[in-house]
Homo-oligomer: A and B are copies of this chain.
Amino acid sequence: MNSPRRVTLQDIATSVGLSVNTVSRALAGKSAVSEETRAMIKAEADRLGYVPNTMARSLVLGQAMTIGVVITNPSNPFYSRMISAIEQRGSTLGYSVLLVVSEENHANELRAVESMRRWGVDGALVVPVQPEVDHWRRLVAAGTELVLVNRDLPELDCDLVGIDYERGAYQATLHLLDSGVERMYLLEEDLAISTVGARMAGFDRALTERGVPAESVRVLRVPTRRRAANTLPWEPAEAYELAQRLVADVPPRSGILVGNDYFALGVYRALTEAGRRVGEDVSVVGFGDHPFSAYLDPGLSSVRLPAEQVGTAAVDQLVARIGRRGSGAPRTRISFPGELVVRGSSNHRQSTAADPGSR
């Protein structure tokens, strides 16, 4: 009933009548062991069910073989897909993943830093909550390699792997204007993060380029207060309420760009309830191409974000950093393009819904 003590190198050594050292080298595939002894030792290790103790190994080697992952909100499909990719890529490279969820909460980030330091993780992949950087600096100062993911922290001098939101927003805005939109709205998250700024910049650039007058443009921030402990920070409900108030103002030939597809849900409902038809007199484009977006009616045009690529590249970047520990290599910034997927919500010319197979 009671679980037997874990098998150690010592157990194997005793069993085969050799020293711990030899067993260690045999199992590690080092050279200085005769092939027959090695085979013998391996067989015995198997027989006893030996599993190396990572903690002991890490302690002596001084490397944890672990990367810390600090995510704000796994319920965001973008992050959940990223987590999968990170974990898979990490394990391929021999790293385990220590996960901390910040829930957009600073206190949890402090907790994360604490945890990373205690474990002595080799590096951390971080989606930061706030512009504040002190705690991250502390982590870096302690010798942990840090790679920011998706959100940038200008004050922090370290690698970033993310998305080119500026360009994504630029293209999406152009697309809306090209499809005949005359008035533009931008609904954005009310968070002080780089992604929002980038999208706003791209939005502005497109408008300027096309000479859209300022009075035809409105930027609105969707409150991100939480309704309850278990709700998403980006509630469609918030966008819905905001859009409800907006709807009366929104003339035909309007375009609404929203910072994430959840917001589009609220906008759809507000418009539908007001008797407006999305994709006909009002166009909507979102960000993220969430799993549901292709299946809304009409299908939601959205900027698809390559979450897996970001996750994989982030791990690669981090592991590369770990490899050349504290070499002071200049910081790298990788950004992947989003891909605008056009569907019925912004397709004035053709009124049919987009092919769902296209997602």
> Is the CB–CB distance between B80 and A291 below 8 Å?
no
Cβ of A293 to closest chain B Cβ, rounded Å: 9
Chain B residues with CB below 8 A from A111, complex form: 91
Bound-state CA distance A237–B294 (Å) is 10
Q: Which residues of B contact A265 (CB under 8 A)?
A: 291-292, 295
* Cβ distance A90 to chain B, nearest Cβ, rounded Å: 10
In the complex with contacts A96-B98, A269-B295, A119-B75 CB distance below 8 A: no
The A73-96 residues at the B interface (CB cut-off 8 A) are 73-75, 77, 80-81, 83-84, 87-88, 91, 96
A213 to B221, CA, bound (A): 54
A103 at the interface (CB under 8 A from B): yes
B residues less than 8 Å from A49 (CB atoms): 142
A55 partner, pick from B6, B119, B142, B296, beta carbons under 8 A: B119
A142 and B3 contact, CB distance less than 8 A: yes
The answer to whether A272 and B297 have CB atoms under 8 Å apart is yes
Q: Chain B residues near A262: list those with CB within 8 A.
A: 291-292
Which chain B residue lies CB-closest to A81? B75
Judge whether A1 is part of the interface by a CB distance below 8 angstroms: yes
| Shortest CB distance A215–B (Å) | 31
Q: Does A120 contact B (CB under 8 A)?
A: yes
- Let me know if A356 is at the binding interface, CB within 8 A: yes
| Chain B minimum-CB-distance residue to A278 | B297
Minimum Cβ distance to chain B for residue A269 (Å): 6
Q: Is B96 within 8 A of A119, CB to CB?
A: yes
Instruction: Give the docked Cα–Cα distance between A75 and B74 (Å).
Output: 8
Contact A143 B80 (CB under 8 A): no
Q: Considering the complex, give the chain B residue whose CB is closest to the CB of A266.
A: B295
**In the assembled complex, A20 has its CB within 8 A of some CB on chain B:** no
Give complex CA distance A307, B59 in Å: 36
| Residues of B with C-beta under 8 A to A55 | 55, 58-59, 64, 119-120
- Residue-wise interface mask of A (40-61) relative to B, using a CB-CB cutoff of 8 A (1 in contact, 0 not): 0000000001011111101100
Question: A17 to chain B: closest CB distance in Å?
Answer: 25
Q: Specify the chain B residue showing the minimal Cβ separation from A66.
A: B98
Chain B, Cβ-Cβ closest to A85: B230
Contact call B84/A74, Cβ cutoff below 8 A? yes
Contact call B2/A326, Cβ cutoff below 8 A:
yes
Provide 8 A-B residue pairs closer than 8 Å at the C-beta atoms, listed in order of the A residue. A3-B142, A3-B325, A51-B117, A75-B291, A83-B101, A91-B115, A97-B98, A230-B307
Beyond known contacts A51-B117, A53-B118, A75-B80: 8 more, CB 8 A cutoff: A55-B119, A75-B77, A75-B84, A88-B108, A91-B111, A97-B98, A237-B357, A265-B291
Residue positions of A touching B, CB distance < 8 A? 1-4, 6, 49, 51-56, 58-59, 64, 69, 73-75, 77, 80-81, 83-84, 87-88, 91, 96-101, 103, 108, 111, 114-115, 117-120, 141-143, 229-230, 232, 236-237, 240, 262, 265-266, 268-269, 272, 290-292, 294-297, 307-308, 325-326, 328, 356-357, 359
